[in-house]
Amino acid sequence: MYPLITLGPLRLSSGGLLLLAAAYLWAWRVVQVARHRGGTTLAVHAKECTLPALFGAAIGGRLWAGLFSLDRYGPAPELFLAPQLTDLAWPGALLGGALVGWGCCRRRGANPWALADVAALSLPLALAVGGVGLLLSGEAFGLPTTLPWGVPLFGAVRHPTQLYGTLAALLIGALLSAAEYFASDDRPLAPGRLAARFLALHGLSLLLIEALRADSFTIADGVRATQIVGLALLLAGLHRLRARPAPTMPMPPVPID
């Protein structure tokens, strides 16, 4: 899309602006959700770890894109540091952000699973906005299709894979919110259960939607790298879900006067 704002070497397009909005939305939602679920302490921990996690996501996203585009990045390694909102691959961003966020939790003594649940509840909305941004910037586009909801892009009518991602994210968000809403007070969800559901559902969506993308990063024999990540997330989520939650401490007896 057309550039809207020029800040030195950084040119923000409408798609780039929406990606920035998605990052901001996630950071804002994380603190809100953390306060709702764990009070001030969890909110403080969330606030402290949000920025490092976003930084890790940016590094991971660029590294992933660069390492799978060595024909461009090899001769010009300065591209790894190019201040542009393109060439940021989601699998790398997710892994980078999760890794840095986890490290931040450990360093600050926060419960990483509690914050992982918060991050999982906050991510779907940001992913949905980011999907629209990808559509506007023409990235992550789909294979040609004759389906009536195809979008004209790059000289062909294509699967709107970006919007598939948006719809999947909204569905995942609704399912996670429902799981949280219907968890009863006497059987609360153990820490990490929402994060595990997010991993499983998001992994499944990556596995399926990536199959319709026309610009996938591939490894040997045309295998799409993001599908490998999707399958790994799906298995990790299911593995975590089938693990028996740690027994909760019994409530202390209420003194009777």
Partner 1 sequence: MLTLPALRRSTGNLLLLAVFFGGVLFIGVTRVQPLTSATSAPAPIDVAPAPEISHPAPPFTLHTPDGATVALADLRGRVVLINFWATWCPPCRAEMPAIQAAFAQYQPQGFTVLAVTAGEDAATVTAFLQAHDLHVPALLDTNGQVHATYFASTLPSSFFIDRRGVVRAIYKGPMSHSVITGTVAQLLAEQ
Are 119 and 101 within 8 A, CB to CB? Answer: yes
Pick 9 or 253: Cβ nearer partner 1 = 9
Whole-angstrom Cα distance, residue 62 to residue 136?
Answer: 20
Binding track, positions 145-184, relative to partner 1; x by CB under 8 A: ---------xx-----------------------------
Q: Which of 97, 90, 101 is nearest to 133 (CA)?
A: 90
Pick 136 or 183: Cβ nearer partner 1 = 136
Q: Which of 32, 24, 53, 173 is nearest to 112 (CA)?
A: 53
Pick 183 or 228: Cβ nearer partner 1 = 228
Stretch that binds partner 1, among 36-44, 52-60, 171-179, 217-225 (CB under 8 A): 217-225
Q: Is residue 47 a contact point for partner 1 (CB under 8 A)?
A: no
Report the 10 Å Cβ neighbour count for 120: 24
Work out which of 136, 171, 179, 189 binds partner 1, going by CB under 8 A.
136
Cα 199 versus chain centre, distance: 10
**φ/ψ bin of 235: left (φ > 0), alpha (ψ from -120 to 50), beta (otherwise):** alpha
Least Cβ distance, residue 123 to partner 1 (angstroms): 22
Least Cβ distance, residue 111 to partner 1 (angstroms): 25
Pick 247 or 252: Cβ nearer partner 1 = 247
Whole-angstrom Cα distance, residue 117 to residue 81?
Answer: 31
Work out which of 44, 67, 82, 170 binds partner 1, going by CB under 8 A.
82
Least Cβ distance, residue 231 to partner 1 (angstroms): 4
According to DSSP H, which parts of the chain are helical?
14-67, 70-73, 90-108, 112-137, 161-182, 193-210, 225-242
Least Cβ distance, residue 230 to partner 1 (angstroms): 8
Tokens, residue 254? 């209420």
Q: Is residue 227 a contact point for partner 1 (CB under 8 A)?
A: yes
Q: Is residue 137 a contact point for partner 1 (CB under 8 A)?
A: yes
Q: Is residue 255 a contact point for partner 1 (CB under 8 A)?
A: no
Q: Is residue 117 a contact point for partner 1 (CB under 8 A)?
A: no
- Kindly write down the DSSP assignment for every residue of 162-205, as one continuous string: HHHHHHHHHHHHHHHHHHHHH--TTSPPPTTHHHHHHHHHHHHH
Q: Is residue 87 a contact point for partner 1 (CB under 8 A)?
A: yes
Q: Is residue 242 a contact point for partner 1 (CB under 8 A)?
A: yes
Q: Is residue 190 a contact point for partner 1 (CB under 8 A)?
A: no
Tokens, residue 138? 């023409």
Residue 1: DSSP 8-state: -
Residues within the interface to partner 1 (CB under 8 A): 1-3, 6, 9, 11, 13, 15, 69, 71-72, 75-76, 78-79, 82-84, 86-87, 136-139, 154-155, 207, 210-211, 216, 218, 221-224, 227-228, 230-231, 234-235, 238-239, 242
